């Protein structure tokens, strides 16, 4: 069982086997100009992504839905979702960004007004600063608690879901609060509502998620099937990306500050954090010169791979220099830390002007 509110999953192979997620590498060649996250295997799995590939190739309508749950600060791992949205925006997708304040309320005890403020000052501000364009036509942002259409759809869809099913999928027990029990249905409605007539009718829809969110995807696909006659839903596709490792070697988490580089960190702090990250270096310099480092176990390398090095050629060189013992961790960390500093200098400049825009977006977009 995968519990989207608590699990830390690292065995990606097992997921592919156990839950029927397909390897992304199978259709990578069909994607035109794939982003680094796809090329580098960070997006490792999918369900029915062929539909999205077809829609992009034939330039027909498709949607991307990815929510944000305002429950804390955004860290650099969250950037992956924004990078994907930016890429999909260039591919002409309709973009839907539900702000999961109902989930924050029931699963994290965060009041709606607090969620709203967090969504503006933290999430939307960073989305804008990272480069997502909210001035484009086909981008929709809303708070779950203010979207009656989504709430009504969730209620209607709930008629074909029973308690035993929710227990089996999510591990809910007799002590699970009823609001929490209802939240997955809201998320199902978040994902399916772009296919309602009001939004242009049935269309391929993709949900980029971490593998911990797969229970929502499976439930949504099942429910889409159950309501196929009524709404003509097309079962949503999904992609799965690896989690970024935390600075300490565990999963990066906003609730464990020692593991995370936050997007609101100053450039100096972000750079310093890179220097403190766990590496795949050897016990001694001599060992490292002789055997080389282990980039596959190195948090610094992961930052280069996920975020800091755009050129595949440059990244390959860094990988080989590490493997062959041509570079030592100190030097490598300094280099990565400088790159992080530059990235954060730009980001914090953009963040300063982004909050004003973020505030406007939310007040304009509420349905």
Interface positions with ligand SF4 (CB under 6 A) = 279-281, 293, 295, 298, 300-301, 322, 327, 329, 332-333
Q: Which of 107, 298 has the CB closer to ligand SF4?
A: 298
* Least Cβ distance, residue 37 to ligand SF4 (angstroms): 19
Owner of token pair 């791979």: 305
Which of helix, strand or coil describes residue 84?
A: helix
* Least Cβ distance, residue 195 to ligand SF4 (angstroms): 44
Contact criterion met (CB below 8 Å) for 326 and 256: no
- Cα 300 to Cα 17, 77, 134, 312, 334: the distances in Å are 29, 13, 32, 16, 10
* Least Cβ distance, residue 316 to ligand SF4 (angstroms): 12
* Least Cβ distance, residue 84 to ligand SF4 (angstroms): 25
Instruction: Report the C-alpha gap between 210 and 81 in whole angstroms.
Output: 9
* Least Cβ distance, residue 196 to ligand SF4 (angstroms): 48
Owner of token pair 């080989």: 320
Q: Which of 100, 322 has the CB closer to ligand SF4?
A: 322
* Least Cβ distance, residue 291 to ligand SF4 (angstroms): 11
Contact criterion met (CB below 8 Å) for 40 and 217: no
* Least Cβ distance, residue 177 to ligand SF4 (angstroms): 44
Q: Which of 103, 302 has the CB closer to ligand SF4?
A: 302
Q: Which of 33, 334 has the CB closer to ligand SF4?
A: 334
Instruction: Report the C-alpha gap between 315 and 319 in whole angstroms.
Output: 6
* Least Cβ distance, residue 328 to ligand SF4 (angstroms): 6
Q: Which of 209, 327 has the CB closer to ligand SF4?
A: 327
Q: Which of 162, 276 has the CB closer to ligand SF4?
A: 276
Q: Which of 62, 301 has the CB closer to ligand SF4?
A: 301
Reported as half-sphere exposure (CB side, CA atoms, 13 A), residue 100 has a value of 26
Please state at what angle helix 148-157 crosses helix 178-192, rounded to 10 degrees: 110
Contact criterion met (CB below 8 Å) for 252 and 76: yes
Q: Which of 37, 327 has the CB closer to ligand SF4?
A: 327
Instruction: Report the C-alpha gap between 322 and 300 in whole angstroms.
Output: 11
* Least Cβ distance, residue 347 to ligand SF4 (angstroms): 23
Instruction: Report the C-alpha gap between 98 and 208 in whole angstroms.
Output: 13
Instruction: Report the C-alpha gap between 232 and 287 in whole angstroms.
Output: 62
Task: Name the residue among 339, 295, 303 with its Cα closest to residue 320.
Answer: 295
Q: Residue 205 pairs with which residues in a beta bridge?
A: 63
User: Residue 244 burial by CB count (10 A; 0-12/13-18/19+): exposed, middle or buried?
Assistant: buried
Q: Which of 304, 362 has the CB closer to ligand SF4?
A: 304
- DSSP H or E stretch at residue 209: strand 205-209
């Amino acid at each position: 069982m995968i519990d989207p509110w608590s699990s830390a999953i690292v065995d990606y192979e097992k997921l592919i086997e156990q839950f029927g997620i397909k390897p992304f590498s199978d259709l990578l060649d069909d994607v035109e100009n794939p982003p680094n996250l796809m090329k580098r295997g960070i997006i490792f799995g999918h369900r029915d992504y062929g539909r999205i590939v077809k829609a992009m190739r034939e330039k027909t309508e498709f949607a991307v839905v990815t929510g944000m749950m305002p429950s804390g600060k955004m860290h650099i791992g969250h950037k992956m979702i924004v990078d994907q949205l930016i890429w999909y925006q260039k591919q002409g997708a309709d973009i839907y960004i539900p702000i999961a304040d109902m989930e924050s309320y029931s699963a994290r005890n965060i009041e709606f007004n607090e969620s709203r403020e967090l969504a503006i000052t933290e999430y939307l501000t960073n989305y804008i600063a990272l480069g997502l364009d909210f001035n484009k036509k086909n981008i929709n942002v809303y708070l779950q608690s203010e979207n009656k259409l989504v709430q009504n759809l969730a209620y209607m869809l709930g008629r074909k879901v029973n308690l035993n099913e929710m227990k089996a999928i999510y591990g809910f027990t007799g002590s699970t609060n009823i609001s929490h029990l209802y939240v997955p249905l809201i998320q199902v409605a978040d994902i399916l509502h772009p296919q309602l007539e009001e939004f242009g009718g049935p269309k391929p829809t993709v949900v980029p998620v971490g593998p911990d969110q797969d229970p929502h995807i499976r439930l949504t696909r099942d429910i889409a099937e159950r309501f196929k006659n009524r709404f003509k839903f097309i079962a949503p596709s999904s992609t799965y990306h690896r989690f970024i490792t935390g600075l300490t070697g565990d999963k990066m988490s906003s609730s464990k500050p020692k593991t995370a580089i936050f997007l609101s960190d100053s450039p100096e702090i972000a750079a310093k954090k890179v220097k403190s990250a766990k590496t795949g270096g050897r016990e001694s310099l001599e060992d490292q010169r002789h055997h080389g480092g282990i980039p596959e176990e190195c948090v610094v390398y992961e930052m280069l791979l996920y975020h800091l090095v755009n050129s595949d050629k440059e990244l390959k060189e860094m990988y080989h220099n590490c493997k062959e013992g041509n570079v030592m961790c100190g030097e490598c960390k300094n280099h990565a830390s400088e790159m992080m500093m530059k990235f954060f200098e730009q980001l914090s400049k953009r963040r300063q002007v982004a909050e004003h825009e973020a505030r406007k977006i939310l007040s304009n977009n509420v349905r």
